[in-house]
Amino acid sequence: MIYHLMRIEEDLKLDFTDVLIRPKRSTLTSRSEVDIRREFTFLHSQKKYSGIPIIAANMDYVGTFEMARALAKHQLSTALLKHYDEESLVAFFQERDIRQQVFYSMGIAKDDYGKFCRVIDRVGDAIELICVDVANGYTKSFVDFIHKLRSAHPTFTIMAGNVVTGEMTEELVLGGVDIVKVGIGPGSVCTTRKMAGVGYPQLSAIIECADAAHGLGGLICSDGGCTTPGDLAKAFGGGADFIMLGGMLAGHEECSSEIIEQDGMHKVPFYGMSSRAAMNKHAGGVAQYRASEGKAVLLDYRGSVENTLQDILGGIRSACTYVGARRLKEFSKRTTFIRVSRQTNDVFGGS
């Protein structure tokens, strides 16, 4: 009989709160000189991308049609909520050419794939980007689905996850994924680390997965853990090609959420997609064999997303000027992280 022994990895792993970016000499005189757009040619689809590599998450009250329209004006992307019905999706994709800014999102269930095929049959090449979203990207069923999807649709750009380790990133890239989605448990309304004890510090996950993906010509998307513009700068500095945002984009008028008045303040709901609230809405409740791995919160209503976008994009440009990166492409090469205590980071305004 073979016994598999428990292991403890001793290597230090880091989150955004564990580091700051060290400034360097710079010839830039203004944030306006910084170009934060990126251009990529995706490994498998061979489609070209040009834009600001920030993606609204495919969550209730974030990955909405209204958010997609608003972000597309600024060359940002949106992964649509995967629970939209077929007719709504067809109408949206037929309304304008936004194929480079919008990901069609789906899970790996038979019904998800069937709906996707029906929508594709009706809208044709109006869809170029696909987000395959599961909580656990380590299952054989997920990997098999990716192989099936890539074989059936060789020209689509596929983003898929989530994973947090280099070896699984390599398997997904080799299996047909263009952008590997990285992050388990870092999201503001995700409780996987508490409920399952599973996860990985997000900055280290980015660094390790980016190294694995880039070695094969693939890309990664950091998903979760960003609560300030400085966190996005750290994610890009660690090697993320794209960043997916949920909580930072929630609470705006483009989120199509109900507005609740509480103690004279306007509030809006936001919850994780594995929360009880999400499963009650989309699956008729929490199945007996599982537990909720997300929470529901009320956020202050923040009006239009425009001001938030200005803060996010301005913060990234500012970070680039501090290290002398004229283009976002250069930023990770010029980034040096300094380890700090979390207490020090909090005192001096860290994330």
What is the β-pairing status of strands 19-21 and 337-339? antiparallel
- DSSP SS3 for 20: strand
Choose among 219, 205, 199: nearest CA to 38. Answer: 219
Residue owning tokens 């994973």: 163
In the structure encoding, which two tokens stand for residue 248, read together?
A: 């930072």
Residue 286 pLDDT grade (very low, low, confident, very high; cuts 50, 70, 90): low
Choose among 237, 298, 235, 291: nearest CA to 266. Answer: 298
- DSSP SS3 for 279: helix
Residue 56 pLDDT grade (very low, low, confident, very high; cuts 50, 70, 90): very high
Of 117, 131, 190, 320, the catalytic one is 190
Instruction: Give the least confident one: 72-86, 133-147, 177-191.
Output: 177-191
Residue 190 annotated among the catalytic residues of the structure: yes
The whole-angstrom separation of Cα 346 and Cα 222 is 23
Centroid of chain to Cα 119: 23
Residue 319 pLDDT grade (very low, low, confident, very high; cuts 50, 70, 90): very high
Residue 199 pLDDT grade (very low, low, confident, very high; cuts 50, 70, 90): confident
Locate the DSSP E strands across 81-240: 102-106, 129-133, 157-163, 179-182, 219-223
What pLDDT, on the 0 to 100 scale, is given for residue 198? 84
